[in-house]
Chains A and B, each alone.
Chain A
Amino acid sequence: MQVKENRQLTKDVYALKLVGDFPYHEVQAGQFVDIKIGAGLEFPLRRPLSIAHCDVKKQELTLIYRVVGGGTTWLRHRDVGDSVDVLGPLGTGFPLPKPQSSVLVVGGGVGIPPLYQLVREFDSSIQPQIILGFRDKFDCFWIEEFAEYGKVTVCTEDGSKGHKGLVTTALGAENKWDYLYSCGPKPMLRALKGHFEGTTIQGYVSLEERMACGIGACSGCTCLTSDGKGTKRVCKDGPVFPWEEVVL
Chain B
Amino acid sequence: MSVDLSVNITGLTLKNPVMPASGCFGFGREYGEYYSLDRLGAVVVKATTLHPRLGNSTPRVTEVTGGMLNAIGLANPGLDQVLEEELPWLANQNVPVIVNVAGDTVEDYCIVVDQICQSGLAHAIELNVSCPNVERGGLAFGVDPQVLRRLVEAVRPYCTLPLIVKLSPNVSRIQDVAMAAAEGGADALSLINTLVGMQIDLRTRRPVLANRTGGLSGPAIKPVAVRMVYDVAKAVDLPLIGMGGIFTGKDALEFIMAGASAVAVGTANFTDPRACPRIIRELRELMAAEGIKNLEEIRGCAL
A interface, CB within 8 angstroms of B: 36, 41-46, 87, 209-224, 230-231, 236
Contact = CB atoms under 8 A, between A and B. Distances in A.
Given A42-B65, A231-B55, A219 B267 contact: no
Nearest to A230: B54
B58 A210 contact: yes
A12 to B, nearest CB: 15
Contact of A221 (B29, B54, B61, B66): B61
30 contacts: A41-B218, A41-B219, A41-B271, A42-B65, A44-B63, A44-B66, A44-B267, A44-B271, A45-B63, A87-B273, A209-B59, A210-B58, A210-B59, A210-B60, A213-B269, A215-B30, A215-B33, A215-B273, A217-B24, A218-B23, A218-B61, A218-B70, A220-B70, A220-B72, A221-B58, A221-B61, A222-B55, A222-B60, A223-B58, A231-B75
Interface in B247-303: 247, 267-273
Contact of B62 (A36, A210, A224): A210
B46 A219 contact: yes
Given A41-B218, A222-B75, 11 more contacts: A36-B272, A41-B219, A45-B271, A213-B24, A215-B30, A217-B24, A217-B269, A218-B24, A220-B60, A223-B58, A231-B55
Interface in B48-64: 54-55, 58-63
Interface in B224-249: 247
Interface of B: 23-26, 29-31, 33, 46, 54-55, 58-63, 65-68, 70, 72, 75-76, 218-219, 247, 267-273
Contacts of A220: 60-61, 70, 72
Contacts of A214: 270
User: Most chain-B Cβ atoms within 10 A of its Cβ — which of A41, A44, A45?
Assistant: A44
Main secondary structure of the interface of A (DSSP, over half): loop
Nearest to A36: B271
A41 B267 CA distance: 11
Nearest to A236: B30
B212 to A, nearest CB: 15
In the A-B complex, the 8 residue pairs with the closest CB atoms: A220-B61, A217-B26, A217-B30, A212-B61, A45-B63, A219-B75, A210-B59, A41-B219
Contacts, number: 92
A223 B25 CA distance: 19
A10 B66 CA distance: 31
User: Most chain-B Cβ atoms within 10 A of its Cβ — which of A43, A45, A231?
Assistant: A45
A43 B270 CA distance: 11
B54 A41 contact: no
User: Most chain-A Cβ atoms within 10 A of its Cβ — which of B55, B59, B63, B65?
Assistant: B63
A43 B61 CA distance: 14
B270 A46 contact: yes
Nearest to A215: B30
A87 B68 CA distance: 19
A41 B66 CA distance: 6
A218 B270 CA distance: 9
Contacts of B67: 44
Contacts of A219: 23, 26, 46, 55, 72, 75-76
A222 B25 CA distance: 15
Contacts of A224: 54
Nearest to A219: B75
B104 to A, nearest CB: 18
Nearest to A229: B54
Contacts of B65: 42
A223 B59 CA distance: 10
User: Most chain-B Cβ atoms within 10 A of its Cβ — which of A214, A216, A219, A221?
Assistant: A219
A212 B70 contact: yes
A54 B248 CA distance: 33
Nearest to A210: B59
Contacts of B267: 44, 212
Contacts of B247: 41
Nearest to A231: B54
Nearest to A69: B63
Contacts of A44: 63, 66-68, 218-219, 267-268, 270-271
Contacts of A216: 26, 30
User: Most chain-B Cβ atoms within 10 A of its Cβ — which of A220, A224, A236?
Assistant: A220
B155 to A, nearest CB: 25
A46 B61 CA distance: 12
Nearest to A45: B63
